[in-house]
C-alpha cells in the first residue's frame, strides 16, 4: 500500500464509485491501446525482418492464405511458400503475445501506486514479483518448448523481438 493510504479519507460509497468513467477510459483507452500498439509494432517488425514491409501488406491476405500460391513475393522479390508464410505468421502471433506480457510488466509498475513513484514505493510484494517472473517464464515456455509449434502454433522468438515492446 502507499505510504499515506491510512491518512486518506474513506471513499463515499454513494458518490465515489470503484469503477467510474475515468478508470474505464484509462484502462481501455490509454493502457489497452498502448498494449495493442506494442503488439502490432512487434508484429510488423517481424514481418519487415522477413521481407514483408508494412506498405506491401495491404491487400495481400487473399494470396497469403491461398494454399495454392507457393511463390508469393515479398518486398524484396524473395518467393515464399505457403508453409513458410504460415510459420512467419504464427511467429508474429507468438511475438504479439510476448509483447503483451512485456507491456504488462510496465503496466503493473505504473499502476502499482497512484501518487508515489516506484522508487519511493518500492517492490516489496514478493507474490507480485513472483507473478512477474512466472508470467514471463510461462510466455518463454510457450514460445521455446518443443512441440508448441504443433500444439499451439507458437514458434520460438529471437531475443530482440522480446525487446520491441519495451516502453
Domain range summary for the chain, segments of one domain joined by +: 19-163
Q: In whole angstroms, what is the distance from residue 125 CA to residue 131 CA? A: 10
Side-chain half-sphere of 100: how many Cα atoms within 13 Å? 11
pLDDT (tens, 9 = 90+) of the chain, 167 residues, equals 577 778 888 988 888 888 989 889 988 999 999 999 999 999 999 999 999 999 999 999 999 999 999 999 999 999 999 999 999 999 999 999 999 999 999 888 888 877 778 888 888 889 999 999 999 999 999 999 999 999 999 999 999 999 999 87
With beta carbons less than 8 A apart as the criterion, state whether 52 and 76 touch.
no
Between the alpha carbon of residue 118 and those of residues 30, 58, 142, the distances in Å are: 20, 42, 30
- pLDDT for the residue numbered 45: 98
- pLDDT for the residue numbered 25: 92
Amino acid at each position: 500500500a502507499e505510504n499515506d493510504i491510512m491518512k486518506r479519507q474513506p471513499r463515499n460509497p454513494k458518490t465515489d464509485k470503484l469503477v467510474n468513467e475515468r478508470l474505464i477510459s484509462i484502462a481501455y483507452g490509454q493502457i489497452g491501446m498502448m498494449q495493442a500498439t506494442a503488439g502490432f509494432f512487434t508484429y510488423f517488425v517481424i514481418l519487415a525482418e522477413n521481407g514483408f514491409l508494412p506498405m506491401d501488406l495491404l491487400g495481400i491476405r487473399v494470396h497469403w492464405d491461398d494454399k495454392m500460391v507457393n511463390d508469393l513475393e515479398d518486398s524484396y522479390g524473395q518467393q515464399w511458400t505457403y508453409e513458410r508464410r504460415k510459420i512467419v505468421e504464427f511467429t508474429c502471433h507468438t511475438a504479439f503475445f510476448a509483447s503483451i506480457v512485456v507491456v504488462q510488466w510496465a503496466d503493473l509498475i505504473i499502476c502499482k501506486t497512484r501518487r508515489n513513484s516506484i522508487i519511493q514505493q518500492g517492490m516489496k510484494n514478493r507474490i507480485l514479483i513472483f507473478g512477474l517472473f512466472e508470467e514471463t517464464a510461462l510466455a518463454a515456455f510457450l514460445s521455446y518448448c518443443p512441440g508448441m509449434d504443433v500444439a499451439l502454433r507458437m514458434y520460438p522468438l529471437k531475443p530482440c523481438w522480446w525487446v520491441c515492446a519495451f516502453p
